A and B are shown apart, each in its own frame.
Chain A
């Protein structure tokens, strides 16, 4: 389907929250990389389900339970189609991307990691793709090797090659950096890591909002993303895993929904995929709303959204660069719609407060990526991130607000 012409006014009209004010000023929301706002279509998909079709799934034979189950499984199919996975058995719903990474770290890690084994990550990872690995390698006597990042915000390919020479069992990296916006060469890296025998997990939280991701084309073993960054609800993450690995992995959490039969005498047998990894009542309304979010993105076109965002980020970058004492972090040639910057001599937190007072919502601080901040030797940054609904006028507001903050803090 060809997307319609990119109509920014029509898009904005679909986001009720964008009509509100903060501190008496129109909201300029430039923190979508932390969490995107929700269009009416997503809000009403979730509300309609709760109003008309809610019951628990995969149980009861009653009509509502059937309808809820159908809608939940249709959402799984919608996600499968978006990622081009081979089967819905490969699409697991979790409570978030963090839970998805933890699932792999613990289920796969406890099974396949032993003393001396190596897990490779990069220094630009979000804490969610560092800490679970630190925990599991500590338990298994394995070790975690971080790959260096160059001053321009790209991964040091020489260090990458050195890390792969250690023949890691697992390589986990972010598709797009949440701080710098760097787009990593995922397809090539996956092939290179698999060539040395590693399994590869890709953190797609910042990629799925901006790139058309095809997990089979990429060749990923595991791919995770979170719904709330693609205009969907919070509390829902997706884990794609290749069927052969998921089948071999033990369950991570035990409980209802994930079993075939439970017995004190004969022991318990587990359900097949994907239910084996979905203990307990899932976030049914969240999955349904996530499908609506994917419909919404597809309607306007992921490519069209991304090129709109890139244009805004370019405008912001050009405008910010002319502010004395302002330093932009990350100048990789392939970037998604975020700009991370610092004002010389000013605490990022102070900048954030002054932008907030002017109605501009940005993220300030370490961005859950403390090792990357340490690597760059900065106390944190201010990050403006752009989404489908932002406008060139909002970039102008940002620039004027940063100018004023810079004057006040100099």
Chain B
């Protein structure tokens, strides 16, 4: 399995290939299209992430091998892309890694500073929630 380090390095390389932020957003939107999303009936408030301007749902569960299974969706396309990017980074990792592994790529590619404050807060809220899921699933192990 690809480590979270490898995944982040791959994302960094992809981002650095684009000069233009529109192209970077295009890539972000594609991450949203690469995840299956969450059907309407499973989008309960329990999985809603607080702190986002647009609505974001993230569901975490355990794969048979004990790793974390992440699903995400949003009613805004760029937000869904960001959520997809998070799924791309964290999905399929052991719970302890999801809870603790260093996440450096957002700063490195300039996303943390480029996003508007509300969106940056939203992204932080997603990461915080993913970390909490990791902690909870690690405790169940």
CB-defined contacts of A349 to chain B, threshold 8 Å: 53-54, 76, 78, 119
Interface flags, B4-35, vs A, CB<8A=1, else 0: 00000000000000011110111001000000
Contact with B119, one of A23, A353, A408 (Cβ below 8 angstroms) = A353
The residue in B21, B22, B75, B76 that gathers the most chain A C-beta atoms within 10 A of its C-beta is B22
**In chain A, residues 353-380, which have Cβ atoms closer than 8 Å to a Cβ of chain B?**
353-354, 357-358
B22 touching A350, Cβ below 8 Å:
no
CB-defined contacts of A347 to chain B, threshold 8 Å: 54, 75-79
**In chain B, residues 18-66, which have Cβ atoms closer than 8 Å to a Cβ of chain A?**
19-22, 24-26, 29, 53-54
Interface flags, B105-128, vs A, CB<8A=1, else 0: 000000000001001000000000
A404 to B23, CA, bound (A): 11
The reply to whether the CB of A24 lies closer than 8 angstroms to some CB of chain B is: yes
Contact with A354, one of B19, B22, B53, B116 (Cβ below 8 angstroms) = B22
Contacts A350-B78, A409-B77: A24 and B25 contacting too (C-beta < 8 A)?
no
A322 to B20, CA, bound (A): 26
Q: Indicate the size class of the contact surface on chain B.
A: 10 to 19
B77 touching A350, Cβ below 8 Å:
yes
CB-defined contacts of A358 to chain B, threshold 8 Å: 22
Main secondary structure of the interface of A (DSSP, over half): helix
**In chain A, residues 332-362, which have Cβ atoms closer than 8 Å to a Cβ of chain B?**
346-347, 349-350, 353-354, 357-358
A404 touching B54, Cβ below 8 Å:
no
A408 to B26, CA, bound (A): 7
A357 to B116, CA, bound (A): 11
CB-defined contacts of B29 to chain A, threshold 8 Å: 408-409
A357 touching B54, Cβ below 8 Å:
no
Closest chain B residue, CB of each to CB of A347: B76
A301 to B119, CA, bound (A): 41
A353 to B119, CA, bound (A): 10
CB-defined contacts of B21 to chain A, threshold 8 Å: 23, 357
A239 to B131, CA, bound (A): 53
Interface flags, A311-328, vs B, CB<8A=1, else 0: 000000000000000000
Please report B residues at the A interface, Cβ cutoff 8 Å.
Answer: 19-22, 24-26, 29, 53-54, 75-79, 116, 119
Please report A residues at the B interface, Cβ cutoff 8 Å.
Answer: 23-24, 346-347, 349-350, 353-354, 357-358, 404, 408-409
List 4 A-B pairs, minimum CB-CB distance, nearest first.
A357-B21, A347-B76, A357-B22, A350-B78
Given contacts A349-B119, A404-B22, 13 further A-B contacts (CB under 8 A): A346-B77, A347-B76, A347-B77, A347-B79, A349-B53, A350-B78, A354-B22, A357-B20, A357-B21, A357-B22, A357-B24, A357-B25, A408-B29
